[in-house]
């Protein structure tokens, strides 16, 4: 008989595609904080340094794919093929997956969706997200408000969802803000559920050359940022309702 794990026994792989050590550590901390997870529960895998091996899945309870201020999913990213195989195998095994921003785009693309570079509709700052009717039946989004604020920063977006994916949320500039494959623990979220207001301030200051044209724009964006506690609750809900329930 298999003993069910407690929440503090859960272990997660965070797949990262970032070049800067400070931003890597910041991303880990953001997922730990938003997911109410301890220091020994989130383990980073640097995709830029080495490929993923399917055997790594045996020692984790879920997979998180973070963002990337350095790469687009349309780029030739080191070891990207290994991530594709890894996530396809995770879906086949029923291992929970949470893709945030770059991670959501990758999940969509690897299962047959389309991602486009669309700076004309980029989102940088706090954005208003609207739930779809289908989200009311979803474990993660069912009790989210119909409209809520979230932190975002992207130039690419999912333009076509993969077959079988269900749209959970949208925004004015980005029709695909969240999706899932029903009866799986696999989610893609275009906005950053792991980021609080102060976290996005740090990201903006670091990656400003990628997303804004001048310092004045950065200050304007920062002055308009909002608190996003509802969006931040999603990581913890994924841990509790998807990963813990499966364990």
Q: Which residues are tagged catalytic?
A: 101, 192, 194
Do residues 67 and 31 make contact, with C-beta atoms less than 8 angstroms apart?
A: no
Report CA dihedral (235, 177, 84, 62) to the nearest 10 degrees. Answer: 10
The tally of CA atoms less than 13 A away on the side-chain side of residue 99 is 28
Q: Which two tokens stand for residue 55?
A: 């055997």
How far apart, in Å, are the Cα atoms of 150 and each of 34, 60, 76, 123, 183?
Answer: 13, 28, 29, 11, 25
Nearest to 71 by CA among 63, 79, 62: 79
CA distance readout (Å), 162 to 104, 106, 140, 185, 229: 12, 11, 19, 16, 29
Q: Give the number of other Cβ atoms within 10 Å of residue 98's Cβ.
A: 30
Selection from 90, 20, 23 nearest residue 53 by Cα:
90
């Amino acid at each position: 008989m298999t003993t069910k794990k407690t929440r503090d026994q859960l272990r997660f792989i965070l797949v990262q595609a970032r070049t800067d050590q400070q931003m890597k550590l910041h991303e880990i901390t953001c997922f730990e904080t938003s997911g109410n997870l301890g220091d020994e529960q989130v383990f980073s895998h640097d995709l830029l340094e080495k490929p993923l091996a399917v055997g790594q899945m045996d020692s984790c309870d879920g997979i998180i794919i973070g963002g990337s201020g350095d790469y687009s999913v349309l780029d030739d990213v080191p070891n990207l093929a290994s991530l594709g195989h890894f996530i396809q195998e995770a879906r086949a095994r029923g291992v929970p997956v949470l893709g945030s921003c770059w991670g959501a785009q990758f999940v969509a693309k690897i299962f047959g969706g389309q991602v486009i570079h669309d700076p004309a509709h980029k989102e940088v700052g706090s954005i208003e997200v609207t739930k779809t009717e289908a989200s009311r039946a979803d474990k993660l989004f069912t009790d989210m408000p119909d409209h809520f604020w979230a932190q975002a920063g992207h130039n690419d977006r999912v333009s076509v969802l993969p077959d079988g994916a269900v749209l959970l949320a949208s925004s004015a500039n980005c029709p695909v803000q969240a999706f899932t494959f029903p009866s799986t623990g696999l989610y893609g979220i275009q906005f950053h559920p792991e980021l609080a207001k102060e976290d996005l301030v740090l990201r903006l200051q670091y990656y400003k050359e990628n997303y804004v044209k001048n310092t004045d724009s950065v200050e304007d964006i920062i002055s308009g940022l909002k608190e996003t506690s509802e969006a931040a609750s999603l990581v913890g809900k994924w841990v509790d309702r998807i990963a813990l329930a499966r364990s």
